[in-house]
Amino acid sequence: SVHDNMEDEILKLIPTGRVDSIQVVYNALSQSPKTNLFPLALKHNIGIIARVPLAYGALTGKFNKSTIFPQDDFRSRKYFAGHLEEVIAKVKIFKESVGSEDKQKLLSAALHFALNNEAVST
């Protein structure tokens, strides 16, 4: 399981044959792995596990500018800390591309997005 800042390390590891699968953050808001990692994984027959396909719940459309996460929720310190409004703006674009604000349709579209890339195994 790797984070965005570890992509260079995993790119070097893939050709060694010591990796069978990689779990990486990939969703409609975080698409950077598809540029370098996914093509190399396909070339070396490495499975990709899409981690956080709902962007920690953001792609369900349930958050707004007044959303407050409990202090013991990691999202209050990490993923949304200081840029919740930016994430909400990106989700607005996602909603427009889906053509709906219905949470079930957004959830389905988010999962479909993550699983639709040929490099993603699960």
pLDDT digits (tens, 9 = 90+) for 71-116: 888 888 777 777 888 999 999 999 999 999 999 999 999 999 999 9
- pLDDT over 80 at 6, yes or no: no
When pLDDT is cut at 50, 70 and 90, the band that residue 5 belongs to is low
Cα–Cα dist 67/64, whole Å: 5
Average model confidence (pLDDT) across the chain: 91
How large is the average pLDDT for residues 11-33? Answer: 93
For residue 100, what is the DSSP state? -
How large is the average pLDDT for residues 13-41? Answer: 93
Cα–Cα dist 10/19, whole Å: 9
Q: What is the model's pTM?
A: 0.89
Report the alpha-carbon angle 83-84-87, nearest 5.
90
